[in-house]
Amino acid sequence: MPRFGEALNEQIGREFGASQQYVAIAVHYDAETLPQLAQHFYRQAVEERNHAMMIVQYLLDADLPVGVPGVAAPVTAFDDAVAPVQLALDQEKSVTEDIVRLTKLAREEGDLVGEQFLHWFLQEQREEVSSMGALLTVVERSKDNVMLIEDFLAREVVGDAGVENGAPPAAGGAL
Protein backbone atom coordinates (compact mmCIF):
# COMPACT_ATOMS: atom_id res chain seq x y z
CA MET A 1 0.00 0.00 0.00
CA PRO A 2 1.31 3.50 -0.77
CA ARG A 3 2.39 5.63 2.20
CA PHE A 4 -0.50 7.97 1.41
CA GLY A 5 -3.00 5.14 1.94
CA GLU A 6 -1.35 4.18 5.22
CA ALA A 7 -1.39 7.80 6.36
CA LEU A 8 -5.09 8.12 5.50
CA ASN A 9 -5.81 5.06 7.63
CA GLU A 10 -3.99 6.73 10.53
CA GLN A 11 -6.06 9.87 9.95
CA ILE A 12 -9.24 7.84 10.34
CA GLY A 13 -8.12 7.15 13.91
CA ARG A 14 -7.36 10.81 14.54
CA GLU A 15 -10.80 11.83 13.24
CA PHE A 16 -12.53 9.25 15.44
CA GLY A 17 -10.37 10.43 18.36
CA ALA A 18 -11.48 14.01 17.71
CA SER A 19 -15.08 12.85 17.64
CA GLN A 20 -14.69 11.09 20.98
CA GLN A 21 -13.07 14.18 22.49
CA TYR A 22 -15.97 16.31 21.34
CA VAL A 23 -18.43 13.84 22.88
CA ALA A 24 -16.52 14.12 26.17
CA ILE A 25 -16.64 17.93 25.99
CA ALA A 26 -20.36 17.86 25.16
CA VAL A 27 -21.06 15.53 28.08
CA HIS A 28 -19.10 17.85 30.40
CA TYR A 29 -21.19 20.85 29.34
CA ASP A 30 -24.39 18.78 29.51
CA ALA A 31 -23.56 17.81 33.10
CA GLU A 32 -23.03 21.50 33.87
CA THR A 33 -26.51 22.25 32.45
CA LEU A 34 -25.12 24.28 29.57
CA PRO A 35 -27.27 22.91 26.74
CA GLN A 36 -26.11 25.30 24.00
CA LEU A 37 -22.44 24.46 24.56
CA ALA A 38 -23.31 20.78 24.83
CA GLN A 39 -25.28 20.83 21.58
CA HIS A 40 -22.47 22.64 19.78
CA PHE A 41 -19.98 19.95 20.74
CA TYR A 42 -22.36 17.05 20.06
CA ARG A 43 -22.67 18.46 16.51
CA GLN A 44 -18.89 18.75 16.29
CA ALA A 45 -18.57 15.10 17.35
CA VAL A 46 -20.86 13.95 14.54
CA GLU A 47 -18.98 16.14 12.07
CA GLU A 48 -15.62 14.58 13.02
CA ARG A 49 -17.10 11.10 12.81
CA ASN A 50 -18.36 11.93 9.33
CA HIS A 51 -14.89 13.14 8.35
CA ALA A 52 -13.51 9.73 9.31
CA MET A 53 -16.21 8.07 7.22
CA MET A 54 -15.36 10.31 4.24
CA ILE A 55 -11.81 9.01 4.39
CA VAL A 56 -13.12 5.45 4.66
CA GLN A 57 -15.20 6.01 1.51
CA TYR A 58 -12.23 7.49 -0.33
CA LEU A 59 -10.09 4.46 0.52
CA LEU A 60 -12.86 2.10 -0.58
CA ASP A 61 -13.27 4.02 -3.84
CA ALA A 62 -9.49 3.94 -4.41
CA ASP A 63 -9.48 0.17 -3.80
CA LEU A 64 -7.11 0.57 -0.87
CA PRO A 65 -7.30 -1.35 2.42
CA VAL A 66 -9.26 0.33 5.19
CA GLY A 67 -8.17 0.12 8.81
CA VAL A 68 -10.20 1.41 11.72
CA PRO A 69 -7.62 2.25 14.37
CA GLY A 70 -8.41 2.41 18.05
CA VAL A 71 -8.33 5.75 19.82
CA ALA A 72 -6.95 6.96 23.12
CA ALA A 73 -9.40 7.85 25.86
CA PRO A 74 -10.47 11.50 25.68
CA VAL A 75 -9.93 14.09 28.38
CA THR A 76 -13.09 14.13 30.50
CA ALA A 77 -12.29 16.45 33.44
CA PHE A 78 -11.99 20.19 33.02
CA ASP A 79 -11.15 22.95 35.49
CA ASP A 80 -13.48 25.59 34.07
CA ALA A 81 -15.68 26.52 31.12
CA VAL A 82 -12.68 27.74 29.10
CA ALA A 83 -10.53 24.58 29.22
CA PRO A 84 -12.71 22.41 26.94
CA VAL A 85 -12.86 25.06 24.22
CA GLN A 86 -9.11 25.64 24.44
CA LEU A 87 -8.60 21.88 24.07
CA ALA A 88 -10.95 21.89 21.07
CA LEU A 89 -9.04 24.73 19.40
CA ASP A 90 -5.71 22.98 20.02
CA GLN A 91 -7.20 19.80 18.55
CA GLU A 92 -8.41 21.63 15.43
CA LYS A 93 -4.97 23.17 14.92
CA SER A 94 -3.39 19.72 15.25
CA VAL A 95 -5.82 18.20 12.74
CA THR A 96 -5.03 21.05 10.35
CA GLU A 97 -1.34 20.15 10.56
CA ASP A 98 -2.25 16.50 9.91
CA ILE A 99 -4.25 17.40 6.78
CA VAL A 100 -1.43 19.62 5.51
CA ARG A 101 1.04 16.72 5.96
CA LEU A 102 -1.32 14.36 4.15
CA THR A 103 -1.70 16.81 1.27
CA LYS A 104 2.07 17.16 0.96
CA LEU A 105 2.45 13.37 1.00
CA ALA A 106 -0.16 12.95 -1.75
CA ARG A 107 1.67 15.57 -3.82
CA GLU A 108 5.05 13.92 -3.13
CA GLU A 109 3.69 10.55 -4.28
CA GLY A 110 2.09 12.11 -7.35
CA ASP A 111 -1.41 11.16 -6.16
CA LEU A 112 -3.30 14.09 -7.64
CA VAL A 113 -6.68 12.51 -6.96
CA GLY A 114 -5.76 12.11 -3.29
CA GLU A 115 -4.48 15.66 -3.14
CA GLN A 116 -7.70 16.96 -4.67
CA PHE A 117 -9.73 14.93 -2.14
CA LEU A 118 -7.91 16.70 0.69
CA HIS A 119 -8.58 20.22 -0.61
CA TRP A 120 -12.07 20.14 0.91
CA PHE A 121 -10.56 19.12 4.26
CA LEU A 122 -8.08 22.02 4.09
CA GLN A 123 -10.94 24.48 3.61
CA GLU A 124 -12.92 22.79 6.37
CA GLN A 125 -10.00 23.07 8.79
CA ARG A 126 -9.56 26.78 8.06
CA GLU A 127 -13.21 27.26 9.00
CA GLU A 128 -12.95 25.01 12.07
CA VAL A 129 -9.90 26.80 13.49
CA SER A 130 -11.48 30.20 12.86
CA SER A 131 -14.85 29.35 14.43
CA MET A 132 -13.32 27.55 17.42
CA GLY A 133 -10.99 30.52 17.96
CA ALA A 134 -13.98 32.87 17.93
CA LEU A 135 -15.84 30.65 20.40
CA LEU A 136 -12.79 30.61 22.68
CA THR A 137 -12.73 34.42 22.63
CA VAL A 138 -16.40 34.53 23.65
CA VAL A 139 -15.91 31.91 26.38
CA GLU A 140 -12.85 33.71 27.79
CA ARG A 141 -14.74 37.03 27.89
CA SER A 142 -17.78 35.46 29.53
CA LYS A 143 -16.17 32.87 31.82
CA ASP A 144 -17.53 34.59 34.92
CA ASN A 145 -21.09 34.39 33.60
CA VAL A 146 -21.46 31.25 31.46
CA MET A 147 -25.07 32.13 30.71
CA LEU A 148 -23.72 34.84 28.39
CA ILE A 149 -22.02 32.07 26.41
CA GLU A 150 -25.29 30.17 26.25
CA ASP A 151 -27.03 33.35 25.09
CA PHE A 152 -24.41 33.90 22.39
CA LEU A 153 -24.74 30.34 21.06
CA ALA A 154 -28.54 30.61 21.06
CA ARG A 155 -28.32 33.77 18.90
CA GLU A 156 -25.32 33.10 16.66
CA VAL A 157 -24.36 30.32 14.27
CA VAL A 158 -20.84 29.24 15.16
CA GLY A 159 -19.07 27.35 12.40
CA ASP A 160 -21.05 25.59 9.72
CA ALA A 161 -23.73 24.31 12.11
CA GLY A 162 -23.20 20.79 10.79
CA VAL A 163 -23.87 21.69 7.15
CA GLU A 164 -20.88 20.63 5.09
CA ASN A 165 -21.44 21.94 1.58
CA GLY A 166 -19.40 20.25 -1.11
CA ALA A 167 -18.20 17.53 1.26
CA PRO A 168 -16.90 14.26 -0.13
CA PRO A 169 -19.25 11.28 0.26
CA ALA A 170 -19.08 9.43 3.57
CA ALA A 171 -19.21 5.65 3.87
CA GLY A 172 -22.68 4.69 5.05
CA GLY A 173 -23.96 8.17 4.16
CA ALA A 174 -23.70 11.15 6.46
CA LEU A 175 -25.76 10.24 9.52
Predicted local distance difference test score (pLDDT) of residue 161: 55
Nearest to 54 by CA among 112, 114, 108, 106: 114
- Ordered structural domains, the chain, with CATH: 3-155 (1.20.1260.10)
The sign of the dihedral angle between the CA atoms of 12, 18, 21, 26 is negative
The answer to whether the predicted template modeling score (pTM) of the entire model surpasses 0.95 is no
Mean pLDDT of 8-30: 98
For position 138, what pLDDT does the model report? 96
Mean pLDDT of 151-161: 81
Query: Which whole number is the average pLDDT over 8-12?
Result: 97
Is the pLDDT reported for residue 66 higher than 60?
yes
Helices (H), the chain: 3-31, 35-61, 82-108, 112-141, 146-155
What b/e readout covers 10-22, taking b as 16+ CB neighbours within 10 angstroms?
A: ebbbbbbbbbbbb
CA 162/CA 159 separation, integer angstroms = 8
Q: What is the pLDDT of residue 162?
A: 56
Identity of residue 14: R
CA-to-CA separations, 13 to 59, 69, 96, 140, 163, in angstroms, rounded:
14, 5, 15, 30, 22
Q: How many CB atoms lie within 10 A of CB 1?
A: 11
